[in-house]
Amino acid sequence: MPSAKDVLRKIPPVDRLLEALDAAGEAAAAPRALVVDAVRSAVEAARERLRSHPDAETTEDALRDAILADARARLQGLARPHFRKVINATGIILHTALGRAVLARQAVDRISRELAGYSLLQADPDTGRRSRRDQRIEDLLCRLTGCEAATVVNNNAAATMIVLNTVAAGREVIVSRGQLVEIGGSFRLPEMMAASGARLVEVGTTNKTHPRDYENAVTDQTAAILRVHPSNYKIYGFTSEVPLETLREIADRHGLALIDDLGAGPLIDFAKYGFPKEPTLPESVRAGADLATSSADKLIGASQGGIILGRKKWVDAVRKSPLARVLRVGKLTLAALEATLTLFLDEPTALREVPTNRMLFRDLASLDAQARRLAEALQARTGDAADVEVLDGSSQLGSGSLPTHDIPTRVAAVAPRAVTVDDLARRLRLGDPPVFARIQNDRLLLDPRTLQEGDEATLVEAVARALR
């Protein structure tokens, strides 16, 4: 039996392996440091394998080829961007792990066309002086919601933090116990409030809170009343909560600020199109919120951001906060938000051009037709490797928006024969481009609702390749 030392001598020197990659022209396109790192990592991995199994029979040529193959794979992984296009076949429209809202074509074009070089971010062309970078966003939000003023930070959690810190640092904020939410990423309202410097005062119960609960909680240390939309859950049955209009009356009687955290914060009332009622930003303004906050992506469909709007007095105070610079957004976010908000100036245009809305409103007939095309193409390409059929399914909006509401869809269901469905899903995720789908009842479900233009043929090829 060969010793471990004898086996390790079969590993070629790093220089010789680099020469082999150079001779094959496989290293020219990558930075030299990445090539060297890939080869050294592959060599070290080979050493570990041989130390663990020194009695494994292998020739020097076979070992060399295996190390080179490993180095090529590592090099490809190092050179490939992590933030890259994926195919979302899950049917979850706002998939947090896959980048949430798909940007409208107009937003992508705006970034590509206007931001390739220098851009007008914070300069007044008329005077040549420095200006406010959020001025255009404020103008659009005022027009769309009727608010007096508006600004934007990097997400809605940041919006909540800076608003609470500005309005109530060192003082009390009253919140219903039914609204002490925890959402994705371990965001918990009580902890966020403590970090902002405000002191939480809980009122009511989990399922019922009345106007008197707020009235009885007011002290000379109270700064504000906060309403929080639960976003990713619903409470049904024996429940009641206080309308924002009533909270406005209570706040006025006691000289308090009224803050409304809407979470997804739609600009359009989706209830009139048959979806569950979600509070909108214009409704919050009309009901009298001093400050309303929401996500800029989710139901608006721009890039990640946190919208803050309401009365000019309070928005100006938020802008003066030391946190404003910490949480401010850059030119890419502003350009995407401007292009997306512009689409909402005409509601039919927003429903047609904002991808979130377009996917949400797809009719069942078109989904059925696409699911059948996928199934027929997959069955033709894969033959006996899998059974494919079209089934009823459910899509979701995702990211805490329209919780508990399943959206009817049609899916192409793939039941592989030679591999497990988990292995098939993993192969698809590791492909190029990566494909993400759902697993249910030992079938891989491909929901056409979240496929983008040009995805269909690529998806069929990816599944066929993974089944091989």
pLDDT at position 5 is 63
Largest distance between two CA atoms of the chain: 90
User: Hey, where are the domains in the chain?
Assistant: 4-79, 87-97+360-467, 105-353
Asked if residue 289 lies in contact with residue 260, where contact means CB atoms within 8 angstroms, the answer is yes
Structure tokens at 94: 């706002």
Asked if residue 238 lies in contact with residue 207, where contact means CB atoms within 8 angstroms, the answer is yes
Asked if residue 291 lies in contact with residue 163, where contact means CB atoms within 8 angstroms, the answer is yes
What is the DSSP secondary structure assignment for residue 452, as one 8-state letter? P
Asked if residue 393 lies in contact with residue 411, where contact means CB atoms within 8 angstroms, the answer is yes
C-alpha to C-alpha distance for 23 and 43, rounded to whole angstroms: 19
- Give the chain's length: 468
405: nearest Cα among 416, 394, 415, 413: 394
Which tens digit of pLDDT belongs to each residue from 381-391? Answer: 988 899 999 99
3-state secondary structure 171-202: CEEEEEHHHCCEEHHHEEHHHHHHHHCCEEEE
Q: Please check whether the two domains, 87-97+360-467 and 105-353, share a CATH topology.
A: no
Is the domain covering 105-353 a CATH 1.10.3720.10 domain? no
Asked if residue 331 lies in contact with residue 175, where contact means CB atoms within 8 angstroms, the answer is no
Segments in 169-227 forming alpha helices (H) = 189-196, 211-217
pLDDT at position 155 is 93
How remote is the C-alpha of 459 from its chain's centroid? 22
CATH fold for the domain made of 87-97+360-467: Aspartate Aminotransferase, domain 1 (3.90.1150)
Instruction: Print pLDDT tens along the chain (468 aa).
Output: 555 566 677 788 888 888 888 777 776 777 888 888 888 888 888 888 878 776 666 777 888 888 888 888 888 777 777 889 999 999 999 999 999 999 999 999 999 999 999 999 999 999 999 999 999 999 999 999 999 999 999 999 999 999 999 999 999 999 999 888 876 656 788 888 899 999 999 999 888 999 999 999 999 999 999 999 876 566 666 778 899 999 999 999 999 999 999 988 899 999 999 888 889 999 999 999 999 999 999 999 999 999 999 999 999 999 999 999 999 999 999 999 999 999 999 999 999 999 999 999 999 999 999 999 999 999 999 888 999 999 999 999 987 666 667 899 999 999 999 999 999 999 999 998 999 999 999 999 999 999 999 999 999 999 999 998
